[in-house]
Amino acid sequence: MIRKVFVFFFACLVFLSCQQPNQQNNREQDQPKGSLFIIGGGHRSLELMDRLSQEAGIYEGGDIVILPMSSAVPDSAIIWSSESFLELGIEPGRIKGYNFELEKDPKEEWIEVMREAKLIYISGGDQNRFMEIVRETPIFDAIHHAYQQGALIAGTSAGAAVMSEKMITGDELRYEDYRSTFRTIESENIEIADGLGLLKTAIIDQHFVWRSRHNRLISAVIEYPHLPGIGIDESTAILVRGDSAEVVGVSQVLVYSNPEHSAHHYEHKLGAKNLKLDIYLPGEKFSIK
């Protein structure tokens, strides 16, 4: 009897030892080869854009694809987004601006260029407009394919918001008039929609310190406690590689989290205990597991 028990446990150990490396290999295979450069909006210095270009490897060759669909003036957004790359010495022929339109079949040649691009850059504007055009289309698939294959996906302002799987739309459910910051911390007020899902472990907010957007990100981490909220200030970015984020630029990145999944309600007001706030400075890194 003892011998049978020993053989059984030995077999279990052998099975688990075989499974663990396989599980590790599967996780490594699922990990995208690319990186994210998420800019909080505002002025984008040449130094910031140079770091973006270096991380993308664009100085060695390859195409840049600019997606301006967040903007109400997409043609102008392409021009404005191209200026920094041109100033950095990137050849004009390598910079492509693709303004995909709602309910129009995307051009196949544009999709193919996107899939092989080294850098995809998403302009500012309205994140809802961008996702309305991109969601459940070959454009969405091409962005993910490029990211999986090693491309850098960058975005500023609205182009930062769309990086999250859970995206802050900017609208309030309890108030009709748009305000750049929430005046209250209330339940069922923050509107969350599906973003690109390139970053699944956090919610992104932008223009953060400059526009004092603390209330809406605090609301988000109370109502979505499994996701930390990352507030990126203007002229600042996070460079995401795997499970690590590095602060790049001139200002701060604030990370709110709700480790105890705390949430209390008084009428429409939200409360919580032991929320956590970390403030990161340029050059510092933090985990986004």
**Boundaries of domain holding 280:** 34-287
Whether 218 contacts 256, CB under 8 Å: yes
Q: Output DSSP code: residue 207.
A: S
Q: Which residues of 101-118 are buried (b: 16+ CB within 10 A; e: fewer)?
A: eeeeebeeebbebbbebb
Question: Is residue 215 in a domain?
Answer: yes
Tokens of residue 144, six digits: 């993910």
Question: Is residue 101 in a domain?
Answer: yes
Q: What residues form DSSP beta bridges with 265?
A: 270
What per-residue confidence (pLDDT) applies to 132?
98
Q: DSSP characters for 171-195?
A: EESS-SS--SS-SS-BTT-EEEEE-
Spatial separation of the C-alpha atoms in residues 261 and 270, rounded to whole Å: 13
Question: Is residue 74 in a domain?
Answer: yes
pTM to 2 decimals? Answer: 0.89
Spatial separation of the C-alpha atoms in residues 142 and 122, rounded to whole Å: 14
218-257 pLDDT, tens digit each: 999 999 999 999 999 999 999 999 999 999 999 999 999 9
Question: Is residue 7 in a domain?
Answer: no
pLDDT band at residue 112 using 50, 70 and 90 as cut-offs:
very high
Q: What residues form DSSP beta bridges with 192?
A: 168
- In this predicted structure, the answer to whether residue 14 has a pLDDT above a threshold of 90 is no
pLDDT band at residue 9 using 50, 70 and 90 as cut-offs:
very low
Question: Is residue 71 in a domain?
Answer: yes
129-150 pLDDT, tens digit each: 999 999 999 999 999 999 999 9
Number of structural domains in the chain? 1
Question: Is residue 88 in a domain?
Answer: yes
Question: Is residue 1 in a domain?
Answer: no
Question: Is residue 159 in a domain?
Answer: yes
- In this predicted structure, the answer to whether residue 37 has a pLDDT above a threshold of 90 is yes
Q: What is the domain-level CATH number for residue 248?
A: 3.40.50.880
